[in-house]
């Protein structure tokens, strides 16, 4: 039965996407946004919205790609703002916001995963058959195996809203097609759960992409689902602020890899591990992004020569990779500066400069007073300015303190689930 389902045609990981939405919830600061997205009554909409963007791929429908990106999501966003006139207390408004934030989670998750994790998998799973097998599907089985997978929900699309909005975005699609696509996403959820529960399927998919399969629960890998959920939580806060016209409530730079104060950054310029990746709060106008927006200096003030910035995925992307022309000098502290004027697709430009630091020095030993305090922004770090309201500073560092003590936080989950994994030894 399982293998008769048309899931082989998918090139995605919907169990992973839904798990990321779920795991982002504990990272939200307490407040209206957390209250809305954690509302059990709205999970149906958040999960369906998280699934929606991949539904058309298997049918060759253009709406899928469109649904991943901020220009379409902004149309839905604008429709919500106009329809509810800034009053989001009705159940319908809350349902639409949950669905929209599902789309946001999916699109941002893909950007984080593809720019960081998949780039590593290309190197570490270079021997895999990338043309005929799907890393997204294999890694979805890994997440299904590690977490038990997700519930298959009744498929739902707000078709009366999406059909005209897709037309506005230049995509002709009817309601029935959107519903068919959403049904296929539900099939993919069933697949991730069922295949993930079967040792033969685990082995099959693990063999296809051994590194990618084995590191999905590894917080030590940039772009792994744990980090996707962290970026998604931050992105949700940006979107929520915009929904309330609080444009000064977030900074142009939303997240970075490495993070401010990180040590032991790899030096090898040829490795994806040495990249410095900046996630912006808004989609970028890639064509207008000048190389001189970005500078890296060492502690003595010497500027480090960088390759042309790589706007990952180009148009509307949030992610920019920076890489040094030569290896990063060893045992050195660096400051990354992102100048004001970065152009975003909503017609705005960033008004403030952003900076953060990283180091190729080894991590100070535990107990060393130089060691950064776990999970806290040091005073004056760029992240301490990233407050979304007074209670909202949440910062994740290399010393990975488990998130807010909730049972579902990823580190706790990783530990709890380790015994169920065929790759338990790999779990940190
Ligand atoms: Zn996708």
Question: Over 80: is that where the pLDDT of 392 sits?
Answer: no
How many CA atoms, within 13 angstroms, populate the side-chain half-sphere of residue 172? 0
pTM listed for this prediction: 0.85
Question: Over 70: is that where the pLDDT of 8 sits?
Answer: no
Q: What pLDDT is stored for residue 86 in this prediction?
A: 85
Q: What is the 357 CA–ligand 1 centroid distance (Å)? A: 32
Angle at 72 between CA 68 and CA 75, to 5 degrees: 145
| 4-13, 94-103, 246-255: least confidently modelled range | 4-13
246 inside domain: no
Q: How confident is the model at residue 393 (pLDDT cuts 50, 70, 90)?
A: very low
56 inside domain: yes
Same domain, 190 and 134: yes
168 inside domain: yes
Ligand 1 is an ion; residues with CB less than 5 A from it = 12, 53-54, 110
Question: Over 70: is that where the pLDDT of 200 sits?
Answer: yes
Q: What is the 53 CA–ligand 1 centroid distance (Å)? A: 6
Same domain, 90 and 17: yes
Q: What is the 385 CA–ligand 1 centroid distance (Å)? A: 31
406 inside domain: no
Q: How confident is the model at residue 2 (pLDDT cuts 50, 70, 90)?
A: very low
Q: What pLDDT is stored for residue 141 in this prediction?
A: 97
Q: What is the 68 CA–ligand 1 centroid distance (Å)? A: 6
Q: What is the 12 CA–ligand 1 centroid distance (Å)? A: 6
Contact indicator for 22, 51 with CB cutoff of 8 Å: no
Q: What is the 10 CA–ligand 1 centroid distance (Å)? A: 10
Same domain, 148 and 266: no
For residue 173, give Cα distances in angstroms to 64, 168, 180, 380: 11, 11, 11, 49
d(CA 390, CA 240): 16
301 inside domain: yes
Same domain, 102 and 44: yes
Q: What is the 349 CA–ligand 1 centroid distance (Å)? A: 27
Q: Which tokens is 405 given?
A: 């003590």
Q: What is the 44 CA–ligand 1 centroid distance (Å)? A: 19
Q: What is the 343 CA–ligand 1 centroid distance (Å)? A: 25
Q: What is the 281 CA–ligand 1 centroid distance (Å)? A: 19
Q: What is the 48 CA–ligand 1 centroid distance (Å)? A: 13
pLDDT top residue among 2 and 28: 28
Angle at 416 between CA 189 and CA 18, to 5 degrees: 25
Domain boundary among 166, 198, 214: 214
The rounded mean pLDDT for the chain is 85
Q: What is the 59 CA–ligand 1 centroid distance (Å)? A: 14
Question: Over 80: is that where the pLDDT of 159 sits?
Answer: yes
Question: Over 60: is that where the pLDDT of 373 sits?
Answer: no
**If 0-12 CB within 10 Å is exposed, 13-18 middle and 19+ buried, where does residue 381 land?**
buried
Question: Over 80: is that where the pLDDT of 386 sits?
Answer: no
Same domain, 193 and 262: no
Q: What is the 266 CA–ligand 1 centroid distance (Å)? A: 29
Q: What is the 383 CA–ligand 1 centroid distance (Å)? A: 29
Nearest to 28 by CA among 319, 235, 279, 280: 235
Q: How confident is the model at residue 388 (pLDDT cuts 50, 70, 90)?
A: very low
Q: Which tokens is 240 given?
A: 């929520």
Percentage of the chain surpassing pLDDT 90? Answer: 80
Same domain, 263 and 185: no
Instruction: Compute φ and ψ for 373, nearest 5 degrees.
Output: -70, 135
Same domain, 8 and 132: yes
Q: What pLDDT is stored for residue 250 in this prediction?
A: 86
Residues 6+ apart with CB under 8 A from 90: 84
Q: What is the 17 CA–ligand 1 centroid distance (Å)? A: 8
Count of the separate structural domains present in the chain: 2
The tens digit of pLDDT for each residue in 286-316 reads 999 999 999 999 999 999 999 999 999 998 9
Same domain, 38 and 187: yes
Q: What is the 286 CA–ligand 1 centroid distance (Å)? A: 21
Expressed as residue numbers, the domain containing 312 is 251-385
pLDDT top residue among 184 and 425: 184
Tell me the pairing of strands 276-280 and 319-322. Answer: antiparallel
Q: What is the 97 CA–ligand 1 centroid distance (Å)? A: 19
| 9-23, 98-112, 146-160, 285-299: least confidently modelled range | 9-23
Question: Over 60: is that where the pLDDT of 90 sits?
Answer: yes
Q: How confident is the model at residue 369 (pLDDT cuts 50, 70, 90)?
A: low
Q: What is the 258 CA–ligand 1 centroid distance (Å)? A: 24
Question: Over 90: is that where the pLDDT of 77 sits?
Answer: yes
d(CA 266, CA 287): 29
Same domain, 281 and 346: yes
Q: What is the 103 CA–ligand 1 centroid distance (Å)? A: 9
414 inside domain: no
Same domain, 53 and 166: yes
Q: What is the 89 CA–ligand 1 centroid distance (Å)? A: 30
Q: CATH no. for residue 335?
A: 2.60.40.1220
Q: How confident is the model at residue 366 (pLDDT cuts 50, 70, 90)?
A: confident
Q: How confident is the model at residue 247 (pLDDT cuts 50, 70, 90)?
A: confident
Q: How confident is the model at residue 387 (pLDDT cuts 50, 70, 90)?
A: very low
Cis ω for the linkage preceding 258 (within 30 of 0): yes
Question: Over 60: is that where the pLDDT of 269 sits?
Answer: yes
Q: What pLDDT is stored for residue 372 in this prediction?
A: 44
Q: What is the 112 CA–ligand 1 centroid distance (Å)? A: 11
Same domain, 167 and 83: yes
The tens digit of pLDDT for each residue in 275-290 reads 999 999 999 999 999 9
Same domain, 57 and 188: yes
Q: What is the 322 CA–ligand 1 centroid distance (Å)? A: 24
Q: What is the 54 CA–ligand 1 centroid distance (Å)? A: 5
Domain boundary among 214, 236, 266: 214
Contact indicator for 175, 223 with CB cutoff of 8 Å: no
397 inside domain: no
319 inside domain: yes
The tens digit of pLDDT for each residue in 31-72 reads 999 999 999 999 999 999 999 999 999 899 999 999 999 999
């Amino acid at each position: 039965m399982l293998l008769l389902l048309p899931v082989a045609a998918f090139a995605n990981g919907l169990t992973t996407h839904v798990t990321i939405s779920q795991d982002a919830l504990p990272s939200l600061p307490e407040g209206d946004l957390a209250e809305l997205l954690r509302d059990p009554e709205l999970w149906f909409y958040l999960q369906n919205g998280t699934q929606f963007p991949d539904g058309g791929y298997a049918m060759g429908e253009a709406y899928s790609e469109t649904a991943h990106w901020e220009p379409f999501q902004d149309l839905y966003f604008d429709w919500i703002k106009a329809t509810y006139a800034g009053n989001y207390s009705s159940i319908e408004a809350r349902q639409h916001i949950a669905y929209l934030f599902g789309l946001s989670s999916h699109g941002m998750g893909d950007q984080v995963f593809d720019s960081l994790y998949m780039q590593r998998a290309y190197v570490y799973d270079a021997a895999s058959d990338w043309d005929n097998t799907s890393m997204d599907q294999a890694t979805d089985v890994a997440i299904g195996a590690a977490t038990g997978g997700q519930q298959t929900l009744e498929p739902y699309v707000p078709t009366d809203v999406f059909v005209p909005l897709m037309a506005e975005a230049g995509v002709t699609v009817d309601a029935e097609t959107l519903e068919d696509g959403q049904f296929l996403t539900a099939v993919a959820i069933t697949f991730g759960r069922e295949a993930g529960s079967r040792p033969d399927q685990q082995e099959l998919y693990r063999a296809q992409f051994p590194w990618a399969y084995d590191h999905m629960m590894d917080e030590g890998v940039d772009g792994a689902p744990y980090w996707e959920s962290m970026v998604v939580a931050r992105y949700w806060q940006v979107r929520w602020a915009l929904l309330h016209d609080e444009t000064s409530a977030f900074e142009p730079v939303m997240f970075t890899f490495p993070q401010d104060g990180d040590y032991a950054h790899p030096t090898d310029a040829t490795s994806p591990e040495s990249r410095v990746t900046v996630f912006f709060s808004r989609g970028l106008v890639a064509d207008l992004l000048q190389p001189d927006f970005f500078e890296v200096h060492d502690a003595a003030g010497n500027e480090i020569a960088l390759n042309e910035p790589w706007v990952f995925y180009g148009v509307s992307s949030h992610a920019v990779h920076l890489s040094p022309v030569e290896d990063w000098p060893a045992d050195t502290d660096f400051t990354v500066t992102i100048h004001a004027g970065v152009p975003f697709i909503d017609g705005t430009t960033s008004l403030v400069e952003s900076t953060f630091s990283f180091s190729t020095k080894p991590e100070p030993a535990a107990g060393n007073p130089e060691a950064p305090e776990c999970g806290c922004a040091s005073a004056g770090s760029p992240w301490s300015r990233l407050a979304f309201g007074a209670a909202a500073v949440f910062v994740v560092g290399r010393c990975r303190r488990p998130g807010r003590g909730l049972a579902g936080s990823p580190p706790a989950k990783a530990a709890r689930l380790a015994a169920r994994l065929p790759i338990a030894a790999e779990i940190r």
